[in-house]
Amino acid sequence: MTQYDVIVIGGGAAGMMCAVEAGKRGRRVLVIEHAEKVGKKILISGGGRCNFTNLNAEPEKFLSQNPHFSVSALTRYTQHDFIDLVKKHRIRYHDKHLGQLFCDTASSEIVQMLLADCAAVGVELRVECKVERIDRRDGYAVETSMGRFEGESLVIATGGPSIPKMGATGFAYDVARQFGLRVTETRPALVPFTLHPKDLDVFGKLSGVSFMATATCDGVTWRESVLFTHRGLSGPAVLQISSHWREGKQVVIDMLPDLDLRDHLGRMKAARPKAELKTLMAELLPKRIAETMCDVYLENRQIGQASNRELDSAAAAFKQWTLTPAGTEGYRTAEVTLGGVDTAELSSKTMEARKVPGLFFVGECVDVTGPLGGYNFQWAWSSGWVAGQSV
């Protein structure tokens, strides 16, 4: 048996941030990671360059049953604080798009930064260490494949079940329930849609084709690219809107968000009456999309022969393409998990369970979820940081 002040289960972004901050306070900290190395999700993020935060990571951008819960952590440790840390370690980065900050070279720089900070404050790491049992007496006893460890405080930082091929599980939820804490409904988020077979027969052949669009669901609209896949739809706009989608809901896609298409077609009717609708639409969208949409929804003819009603229908087909997804690709490809440990059970200032002293939950396993683009990493840094001030 080995005694620690703090045991952190989970060697990802939130867990390592918490461990560093606790170590700075002179706490003896152990991080337990069941995988063969820490920071695996960091390493694969951003195409291997780690979209480590977003310049626009404000609390109102995050989803939760309690939308105010994230305010304390995100305002006490902000994206600018993490950027300062990155600069301190001389990691070069760039703003790729919409405030999304990426490493110039590799995600491994962020992991190495966290490992260096852990080493500097004496944090101990155990990888390939499987947790078998957790008991609470005066503190917390954690039985593992490497023996028994005891600590005054226990931090659960194991994320959610998204991307199970990396070893992700619902472990955090099991621990929460073990100690009598509620867990909200969980589901895959930031995840591609699948289409019904009849739609896939038509649109599956467009796999690999993308276009800029707005996607709207349940009153929420995102503007970014949409990508056809062999299973359905993906791309940033679809991933963003998936967090607001529920089974049976419709998604409306505007394929030409910068164009009054009805007005454009009216002008083309006058200026180029012999041009076919497919030809005109292929000037505005990838040819395969234009041809497929015309084949499915419209009668292709010379635009000069089209009635005003037919022009209205043509504009609506592209500007208000409405579909009902069959589902999503699930946790297999989901970027994050929506829902988690109920925030009503936790202190927003410390991340400690209100009715279980010394037990903390941080990061993705908590019911706080951000959009695509570095937001969820910022929640990991912020929640880990605030817990590290109190464990």
Query: Is 0.75 surpassed by the pTM of this model?
Result: yes
Angle at 195 between CA 191 and CA 199, to 5 degrees: 150
Residue type, 313: S
CATH no. for 193-328: 2.40.30.10
Q: Which CATH architecture has domain 2-187+336-388?
A: 3-Layer(bba) Sandwich (3.50)
Q: How far apart are CA 148 and CA 129, in angstroms?
A: 11
Asked whether this chain's domains 2-187+336-388 and 193-328 adopt the same fold, the reply is: no
pLDDT value for 202? 94
Q: What is the pLDDT of residues 132-189, one digit of tens each?
A: 999 998 899 999 999 999 999 999 999 999 988 888 899 999 999 999 999 999 999 9
Residue-level pLDDT at 190 = 97
pLDDT digits (tens, 9 = 90+) for 9-55: 999 999 999 999 999 999 999 999 999 999 999 999 999 999 999 99
In the chain, the DSSP E strands lie at 2-9, 29-32, 51-54, 93-97, 100-103, 124-126, 131-136, 140-144, 147-156, 187-189, 193-194, 210-217, 220-228, 232-234, 251-254, 321-323, 327-328, 336-338, 359-361
The helix-helix angle for 308-319 and 261-271 (nearest 10°) equals 140
What integer pLDDT is reported at residue 21 of this predicted model?
A: 98
CA distances from 18 to 108, 128, 264 (A): 19, 20, 55
The pLDDT of residue 309 = 93
108-120 vs 13-24: helix crossing angle, rounded to 10: 30
Sign of the CA dihedral 134, 369, 382, 111? positive
Q: Which residues does the chain have with pLDDT short of 70?
A: 1
Q: Name residue 357's beta-bridge partners.
A: none
pLDDT of res. 213: 98
State the amino acid at position 319 in one-letter form. K
CA atoms within 13 A on the CB side of 112: 10
By three-state DSSP, how is residue 347 classified?
A: coil
Residues 6+ apart with CB under 8 A from 378: 53, 54, 57, 74, 79, 82, 370
Say how many C-beta atoms besides its own lie within 10 A of residue 105's C-beta: 13
Domain ranges of the chain: 2-187+336-388, 193-328
Provide CB contacts within 8 A for 112, sequence distance 6+.
none
The pLDDT of residue 352 is: 98
CB 2 within 8 A of CB 149: yes
Quick one: tokens of 15?
């867990």
pLDDT value, residue 1: 60
